[in-house]
Structure 1
Amino acid sequence: MFALLFLQASIASVLAGAAAWLLLRSAARTWPGLEARRTPWLLGAAAAALTLALGLLPASARPSIVPAIELPAVLSNAAADASSRAGDASADDALFDEHDAMPIEPAPALLWLGYSWLALYSAGLAVCAARRLQATRRLAGLLAASQPLDRLSLADHAGFASLQRALPEVREIDAPIAPMLVGLTRPVLLLPRHLRDFDPAQQRLVIEHELTHLARRDPMWMHASFLLQAAQWFNPMVSRLGRQMAWAQELGCDRTVLLGRPSAQRRAYAAALVAQMRMQTVPGHGTALAFGGRVVDAVGARINMIRDGVPAIPRAVACALGWAALPAVIAASVLLQPALAWHIDAGPAGDPALAAAALPHWQAPMQRLRVSAFFGVLHAPTGRTHGGIDFATPTGTPVFAPADGVVVASTNRYLGESKWGEVVAIEHANGLRSLYAHMDRRQVKEGDHVAAGQQIGTSGATGKATGPHLHMEVTRNGGNIDPQALLGNLEANATRTALQRLKASRAS
């Protein structure tokens, strides 16, 4: 079920975010200059987002080194109704027809948990969107109340004196805000009128800071960070990574603006930051880059870095941390994320027919399953209904016992005929028996006790076969049933021809 899969992926995202945060914070202790590099922190948030996305892939398409987690399940309503109509004597026929495996679904409590989280996530996403809209409207209101500065006005502004660079649209407002860049595609430089009261050198440094944001394309990366945080609003580590990225952008601009400047100008720059924060009564806006914005509760640390200089770190080191270490976080979180499997321990209370019909979950007979012919379809070579399931696989592929049992046949003359090729048959509990035909080599003999996962031979094309494959049959109390009832739905791992024939069989 998607709801439970999404819950599992969300947990994996939180763990990936925590791993990325711990990795980067540990690296920052070795290279303090990492705090002024935005890329590693942004990639850390992206790693958590990719973990969330990869966790939503079907279990068959997602690699994992952790066994499936079996969760309690119940028979679906359709299966229960079919069983009650058919009666105890024909419960197996109702649940295991020639087309479908036994329909099961997670227990109601698990479904409630999954759907509750999905509803909570949707509500949180709506809150993030509402806050974003509110912030955008506030910024639009500030822009509407501001006045544009033309060339003459800019020439009269001390902050733009001797400034040799292209300028965006500049507007001024009589409000206690921080100087800020507003907008994504065409950012506007919005300045408070009180900035004119600062020392001319301070004015130039403050404006240079904002224009450096523009040159570094910081507004674009800030919006990307916001989208990652909104999509993972439940992940506190992604929020920390986002705040640290914003902090890195401010430090990066400080370093660029103050590069090579004397200590007197550094002190003036720090004084301008303190003065701006004292005059600023309107809180910062999460959708704008503002000089003096409280991106983290470390204003004192920023002033110290302005005074002493931001520690340098080689760009190659910062890129290596982002592009080499963080993908490892993604891979580890996905590989360590088990699939969900539904397991029926017993039928509903008071219904012995359904309890008897419930089957265990078997392991796959091979590491990779690719269905070339489903159970119950018209088998092309014979023209008869297919009594098992075929898996396309190269000759020599290991074949494993799907469950504990006793070998009751290991021969190349099964039922006195050679058409089956090399055959192994295993008797299991609950009246179940599995058969594997057209094998290349048998590694067990009659009377052997085998355990689940033990290799019993290799696949091949012996007997009457059109190509290398493994033919598997399962019987229960002597009657053929669909192996998918024990292995799970295999339609996601099937050839196009097999799916077409299955569809045609269901339609007939």
Structure 2
Amino acid sequence: MTGLLTALLLGAALTLPAAGLAWLAGLALQARAGQSSPALWRSARLVAVFPLLLAPVLFAVPQSLPPLPALEFINETALDLPAATPVRDTLLAAPTALALPSPAILLAAVYAIGLIASLLLALRRHYHRRRLLVHSRLADASERGLLEREAGKLDLPAPELRLCDRAASPFLTGWRGVIIAPERLLQTPDLARHALVHELCHLRRGDERDRLLGSALTIVLWFNWPLRQIERELDAAREIACDSDAIDALGRSQCKAYAATLIESMRSSAQPVSAFGPHNRRQREMRIKSILSGGQAVRHSFLAAGAVLVLAVPVAYAQTTLTPRRAVSAPVEQIAPSAETRLLAHAHGQGEGFEAALSGANAEYPSAPDDGQNQSLTLAHLQQSGMNVEASTSAAVIAAPVGPEAVAWQNVSSPAQAPIPPAAPAAAPQPANAPDLPGAIVPGRVTSAYGPRPARPAGSPVFHGGTDIAAPAGTLISAPGAGTVVHAQMGYQGSERWGNTVEIDHGDGWSTVYAHLETIGVTPGQSLAPSQRIGAVGSTGAATGPHVHVELHFNGERVDPAGYLAGLD
């Protein structure tokens, strides 16, 4: 959800430059053409809101990650190696830092506040319109006669006509179209005819629905000032086009009388909705000039509209490169590398050079037998790289002396360096007492136990520092015993490969760690009771599927959890 929110916020932000470019381009094209066109400004509106419409589409298109050979090794490297030094002491001593919301959440909150204010202003305008409707009355048959005659000439069904003394001038309102007019209007037939024909032309053109759409867009994008300018220009273009249609219906001889009706309406106060009446001075001058020139039909310049639409291309390109995509991992490429390739790749993989190690090992040892010499080669490389802890673990599992091949490798890497004998295996911690952890952690299936893995997946470490329990995503995880939460966030020990991780201090030097959680339901410093929920099973971080990685620590050192935690035997 956070990725979609970020995509929407980015799209909303890009509507500002898009609307600004479309507005300026529209003004330039309008000045060049010498008249305003609704098609031009509708194209500018589309360009302005296009980034917001494109945001969820871009996020929905998945971005497949390329398959990696032996992906499980990369996923588990950071988890399975024994920790060199305890890190829990600093967590217990330091106070919990105040977690600040992400920038995306802060921006969303600011937008929500502005949206509420914009909605309140829109409700205020709606309230004024409803008041006019409440204080109006339905016109009787005799009062509707003029409207029905003019609607028949335009091949339109006569809309509802309501009369209200509070209306300053006639106007069309509502999605289905209702004309509200002052009662005094009917006392002047010529004036009433001009005004009613104008509103009927609005109804036939669908201008009121287009205005309502623009009003909704300016509410949603309340921060977009250029979009408001586009809507104002579009409103003026609709009026000029409607004036042209009205003069065609009334006859060219009515141009001056129609202009006089318009000027009379402009002296009235503004209505809360679209009306025959006032606009700004520039728009009034444009309308009167168009009417007096004979109300010539507005040319729909599709070329100008298309020129404005072209502006959406660079904006869409920028948005495509910036929008976060929904990542979908491709299926892991199952390969069967040779034993020497796997072992050497494991050694190089500690330095995040896995792929280079694969190609190098295949080129260097294309036909080497799978024997102890290749294992010794890996052990020697670990030692030469200064990875003593890993070398100790590998030596304990492989239990093989450094062979001639390892010496040859050392001579290639560092001619002056003598072969390094394998280090002694690290001493396992000796717990003084057993913790009280009787509760079940999660219902599931143990897929990888603690300890050496001779039949491990290709490329994965030889030693597994915890127990993996597979379960459906979202399965609740419980604390096995009472304790205090000392870590609850994304990542652990400086690496995000752990995903969402929780660590619980159970006292007397004992603690448990739970990695790859989908959600975290506790906070640092929180006291837990046995079987209290701490989160849910997931696949965050470096994980190939939904499971929870469980570790048991005693004084900062890993211990086999099978002898202490329920359900892991």
Q: Which deviations, in whole Å up to 9, do the C-alpha atoms of 1:235-267 show, x marking residues without a partner?
A: 111111111221121111011112386665212
User: Amino acid of the residue matched to residue 169 of structure 1?
Assistant: E
- Superposed CA RMSD in Å reads 5.5
| Counterpart for residue 169 of structure 2 | 178
Question: Larger deviation: 257-266 or 165-174?
Answer: 257-266
Provide the rounded CA distance (Å) in 1 between the counterparts of 2:9 and 2:146: 58
Q: C-alpha displacement at 1:197, in angstroms?
A: 4.9
Name structure 2 gaps, 5 residues minimum. 64-77, 89-97, 344-351, 371-381, 388-411, 414-456, 466-490, 501-538, 551-567
Q: Contact 2:37 / 2:300 at 8 angstroms: preserved in 1?
A: no
User: Amino acid of the residue matched to residue 167 of structure 1?
Assistant: A
Q: C-alpha displacement at 1:108, in angstroms?
A: 6.6
Q: Contact 2:6 / 2:324 at 8 angstroms: preserved in 1?
A: no
Provide the rounded CA distance (Å) in 2 between the counterparts of 1:472 and 1:91: 30
**Is 1:54–2:54 an aligned residue pair?**
yes
Q: What secondary structure is seen at the aligned counterpart in 2 of 1:170?
A: strand
Provide the rounded CA distance (Å) in 2 between the counterparts of 1:222 and 1:118: 27
User: Amino acid of the residue matched to residue 174 of structure 2?
Assistant: G
| Counterpart for residue 21 of structure 1 | 23
Provide the rounded CA distance (Å) in 2 between the counterparts of 1:201 and 1:265: 10
Q: Which deviations, in whole Å up to 9, do the C-alpha atoms of 1:421-455 show, x marking residues without a partner?
A: xxxxxx9x999xxxxxxxxxxxxxx99xxxxxxxx
Aligned match of 2:190 in 182, 201, 204? 201
Provide the rounded CA distance (Å) in 2 between the counterparts of 1:300 and 1:249: 15
Q: Contact 1:62 / 1:334 at 8 angstroms: preserved in 2?
A: no
Question: Larger deviation: 155-164 or 17-26?
Answer: 155-164
Q: What secondary structure is seen at the aligned counterpart in 1 of 2:28?
A: helix
| Counterpart for residue 310 of structure 2 | 325
User: Amino acid of the residue matched to residue 135 of structure 2?
Assistant: A
Q: Contact 1:16 / 1:333 at 8 angstroms: preserved in 2?
A: no
Q: 1:177 to 1:339 in 2, by over 3 A?
A: same
Provide the rounded CA distance (Å) in 1 between the counterparts of 2:151 and 2:47: 44
User: Amino acid of the residue matched to residue 12 of structure 1?
Assistant: L
Q: C-alpha displacement at 1:130, in angstroms?
A: 1.8
Q: C-alpha displacement at 1:136, in angstroms?
A: 1.9
**Is 1:217–2:218 an aligned residue pair?**
no
User: Amino acid of the residue matched to residue 410 of structure 1?
Assistant: G
Provide the rounded CA distance (Å) in 2 between the counterparts of 1:237 and 1:26: 15
Q: 1:112 to 1:338 in 2, by over 3 A?
A: closer
Could you tell me the percent identity over the aligned residues?
A: 20
Provide the rounded CA distance (Å) in 2 between the counterparts of 1:321 and 1:117: 33
Mapping 1:295-444, distance limit 5 Å: 298-308=283-293, 309-310=295-296, 312-314=298-300, 316-317=302-303, 320-321=306-307, 324-325=309-310, 327-328=312-313, 330-335=315-320, 337=322, 370-373=329-332, 410-412=360-362, 413=365, 416=368
Q: What secondary structure is seen at the aligned counterpart in 1 of 2:546?
A: helix
The normalised TM-score by structure 2 is 0.52
Q: What secondary structure is seen at the aligned counterpart in 2 of 1:289?
A: coil
Q: Find the structure with the greater CA-based Rg.
A: 2
| Counterpart for residue 251 of structure 1 | 240
Q: Contact 2:58 / 2:323 at 8 angstroms: preserved in 1?
A: no
Q: 1:276 to 1:149 in 2, by over 3 A?
A: same
Paired residues in the alignment total: 370
Q: What secondary structure is seen at the aligned counterpart in 2 of 1:259?
A: helix
Provide the rounded CA distance (Å) in 2 between the counterparts of 1:193 and 1:10: 45
Q: What secondary structure is seen at the aligned counterpart in 2 of 1:190?
A: strand
Q: Contact 2:147 / 2:158 at 8 angstroms: preserved in 1?
A: no
User: Amino acid of the residue matched to residue 121 of structure 2?
Assistant: R
Provide the rounded CA distance (Å) in 1 between the counterparts of 2:173 and 2:111: 29
Provide the rounded CA distance (Å) in 1 between the counterparts of 2:544 and 2:138: 69
Q: What secondary structure is seen at the aligned counterpart in 2 of 1:141?
A: helix
Q: 1:369 to 1:275 in 2, by over 3 A?
A: closer
Provide the rounded CA distance (Å) in 1 between the counterparts of 2:128 and 2:223: 25
The normalised TM-score by structure 1 is 0.57
Q: Contact 2:163 / 2:183 at 8 angstroms: preserved in 1?
A: yes
Name structure 1 gaps, 5 residues minimum. 64-81, 93-106, 341-367, 389-401, 419-426, 432-445, 448-470, 490-495
Q: Contact 2:50 / 2:312 at 8 angstroms: preserved in 1?
A: no
| Counterpart for residue 271 of structure 2 | 284
**Is 1:190–2:176 an aligned residue pair?**
no
